[in-house]
Amino acid sequence: MSISSMPGGADMTVASVLSVAAMLGEGPVWTDNRLWFVDIKSRKLHCFDPSDASSRDWNAPDQVGWVLPSKRGDMIAGVKTGLHRFDPATGQFALLHDPEPGQPGNRLNDAATDSTGRLWLGSMDDGEAQKTGRLYRCDAGACRDTGLPPVAITNGPAISADARTLYHTDTLGKTIWRAAIDSDGTLGTPERHIVIEEGAGYPDGSVIDAEGCLWVALYDGWGVRRYDPLGALMRFVRFPVANVTKIAFGGGDLGTAYATTARKGLDQAALEAQPLAGNLFSFDPGVAGLPVVPAKI
């Protein structure tokens, strides 16, 4: 099945809601009635308020892969140099912990919290070639390697509502793995869950909706896919730009999907053909999302 013929590609309207022309937009998250996201390569953290279409941005101390709310009321940011606390009131970043002091060529990439407040985060080779990226679990004041095999680009840690299943993405391997989560946070043996076929792009960020289905953004794939809990493709939402990086559910009822996109890798001809590349988009997914639980950090 080609991307253009997948179900859902024609019945949803995707709209650009914020023109930011991000080089590598990523990490969208809905908290405090606003949509937060980052531009990794431009070292920017953005905040969008859909009530009046206003936005703010802050400079990060290095490449910033994601931002999530914390139980303390501030934000936790995944910066190349490690986990940082971010205070929106002052714009200050404070280093908390570097999970990989022996991997200076890596950076933190994608992250998510589960329903218990545990933080799951991945690292990756900043050169996007060496298999040095790992997945970590942060709770009880420490970050631990989950033991999953290293990959070049980790992405899309997404966790089921009951915090019993983890979905982990090997972007260059075009594979999403599924692993059971024990009560203490340790992972069972990973199983291959979804493989993205050739010509359909690369799986990037992912998120679980209220019905337990997995939404996967496709870099160089022109859209977002929705898979059921068994890994069967349900829907494809086509975008007017090639590089879609991740979605987040927002709005008062968590019924609006927001998506980050990227200009990275597009030549001049592609940029002229995709003038909206790098913007923040929204669409009606037809299903609500799950609330984001603040990280217990």
What are the distances in angstroms from CA 145 to CA 100, 118, 173, 194? 10, 13, 20, 23
Per the DSSP assignment, residues forming a β-bridge with 226 are: 215, 235
In angstroms, the CA 229 to CA 208 distance is 10
In angstroms, the CA 28 to CA 143 distance is 22
What are the distances in angstroms from CA 103 to CA 82, 100, 126? 11, 5, 10
What are the distances in angstroms from CA 158 to CA 88, 209, 254, 275? 25, 10, 17, 30
Q: How many CA atoms lie within 13 A of 202 on its CB side?
A: 15
In angstroms, the CA 290 to CA 189 distance is 26
Q: Choosing from 87, 204, 253, 284, which is the catalytic residue?
A: 204
Q: Is there a catalytic annotation at residue 204?
A: yes
Classify burial at 121, counting beta carbons within 10 Å of its beta carbon; exposed 0-12, middle 13-18, buried 19 or more: buried
Evaluate whether 189 touches 165 at the Cβ level (below 8 Å): no
Name the residues annotated as catalytic.
204
